[in-house]
Amino acid sequence: MNRTPNSPLRSMFLVAAIAVALPVACTAQPPANPIASPPAATPAPPLVAGLPDFTNLVQRVGPAVVNIRAEAAPRRAARGQMPNEEQIPEIFRRFFGDEMPFPGGPGGPDGGPRGPRGGGTSLGSGFLMSADGYVMTNHHVVEGADTVTVTLSDRREFTAKVVGSDEQSDVALLKIDSKGLPFLRMAPANSAKAGQWVIAIGSPFGLDHSVTAGIVSAVGRANPYANQRYVPFIQTDVAINQGNSGGPLLNTSGEVVGINSQIFSNSGGYMGVSFAIPIDVAMSAAEQLRSTGKVVRGQLGIFVQELTSELAGGVGVSGLEGALIARVVPGGAADRAGIEGGDVVQSINGIRIASASDLPPVVGALKPGTKAIIGLSRGGKELDVTAVVEELGVENSRASAAGPWQESRESGFGFTAKKAPAQDLSRAGAPKGVVVTNLSDSASNAGLRVGDVITAVGRKSIESEADLNSELAKVADGKQAALLIMRSGQALYLAVPRT
Position 408 scores a pLDDT of 37
Asked: is 298-391 a CATH 3.90.79.10 domain? The reply is: no
Q: How many CA atoms lie less than 13 Å away from 403 in the CB half-sphere? A: 17
Residue 39 pLDDT more than 90? no
Instruction: Please report which confidence band the pLDDT of residue 395 belongs to, taking 50, 70 and 90 as the band edges.
Output: very low
Q: How many CA atoms lie less than 13 Å away from 227 in the CB half-sphere? A: 24
Write the pLDDT tens digit of every residue in 48-60. 667 889 999 999 9
DSSP string, 329-395: -TTSHHHHTT--TT-EEEEETTEE--SGGGHHHHHHTSPTTSEEEEEEEETTEEEEEEEEPEEPPHH
Same fold, 60-175 and 415-497: no
Position 102 scores a pLDDT of 45
Say which residue, 126 or 450, is predicted with more confidence.
126
Q: What angle do CA 285, 289, 292 make, to 5 degrees?
A: 125
**DSSP β-ladder status, 256-263 and 371-378:** unpaired
Instruction: Please report which confidence band the pLDDT of residue 30 belongs to, taking 50, 70 and 90 as the band edges.
Output: low
Instruction: Please report which confidence band the pLDDT of residue 403 belongs to, taking 50, 70 and 90 as the band edges.
Output: very low
List the CATH code of the domain at 197-292.
2.40.10.10
List the CATH code of the domain at 415-497.
2.30.42.10
Cα(359)–Cα(353) distance, integer angstroms: 6
Cα(142)–Cα(124) distance, integer angstroms: 9
Q: What are phi and psi of 291, to 5 degrees?
A: -85, -35
Minimum mean pLDDT range among 242-256, 281-295, 386-400, 415-429: 386-400
Q: Which residues pair with 65 in a beta bridge?
A: 127
Cα(253)–Cα(47) distance, integer angstroms: 20
- The predicted model gives 162-180 an average pLDDT of 94
Residue 451 pLDDT more than 50? yes
State the DSSP code for 186: B
Position 75 scores a pLDDT of 60
Q: What angle do CA 455, 457, 461 make, to 5 degrees?
A: 50
Instruction: Please report which confidence band the pLDDT of residue 297 belongs to, taking 50, 70 and 90 as the band edges.
Output: very high
Cα(75)–Cα(205) distance, integer angstroms: 25
Cα(112)–Cα(130) distance, integer angstroms: 39
Write the pLDDT tens digit of every residue in 178-197. 999 999 999 998 899 999 99
Helices (H) and strands (E) in the chain, counts: 12, 26
Position 56 scores a pLDDT of 92
Instruction: Please report which confidence band the pLDDT of residue 398 belongs to, taking 50, 70 and 90 as the band edges.
Output: very low
Sign of CA dihedral 245, 247, 248, 249: negative
**Where do the structural domains in the chain lie, given as residue ranges?**
60-175, 197-292, 298-391, 415-497
Q: How many CA atoms lie less than 13 Å away from 81 in the CB half-sphere? A: 8
Position 414 scores a pLDDT of 84
Position 225 scores a pLDDT of 64
Cα(170)–Cα(159) distance, integer angstroms: 21
Q: Are 288 and 369 in contact (CB under 8 A)?
A: no
Position 72 scores a pLDDT of 86
Percent of the chain with pLDDT strictly greater than 70: 78
Minimum mean pLDDT range among 172-181, 232-241, 438-447: 438-447
Prior bond to 116 cis, omega within 30? Answer: no
Catalytic positions? 140, 170, 245
Helix (H) or strand (E) holding 274: strand 274-278
User: 58-90 in b/e burial notation, b at 16+ Cβ within 10 A?
Assistant: beebebbbbbbbbebeebebeeeebbeeeebee
Write the pLDDT tens digit of every residue in 317-331. 888 899 888 778 888
pTM above the 0.85 mark?
no
Say which residue, 140 or 35, is predicted with more confidence.
140
Mean pLDDT of the chain: 80
Instruction: Please report which confidence band the pLDDT of residue 339 belongs to, taking 50, 70 and 90 as the band edges.
Output: very high
Cα–Cα distance list, 381 to 305, 313, 395, 432 (Å): 20, 13, 35, 44
Helix (H) or strand (E) holding 57: helix 55-61
Highest mean pLDDT among 6-10, 130-134, 303-307: 130-134
Q: How many CA atoms lie less than 13 Å away from 37 in the CB half-sphere? A: 3
Position 318 scores a pLDDT of 82
Cα(79)–Cα(116) distance, integer angstroms: 15
Cα(42)–Cα(217) distance, integer angstroms: 31
Sign of CA dihedral 244, 66, 119, 293: negative
Residue 432 pLDDT more than 60? yes
The structural architecture, per CATH, of the domain 60-175 is: Beta Barrel (2.40)
Minimum mean pLDDT range among 154-163, 358-367, 389-398: 389-398
Residue 123 pLDDT more than 80? yes
Say which residue, 64 or 416, is predicted with more confidence.
64
Position 119 scores a pLDDT of 60
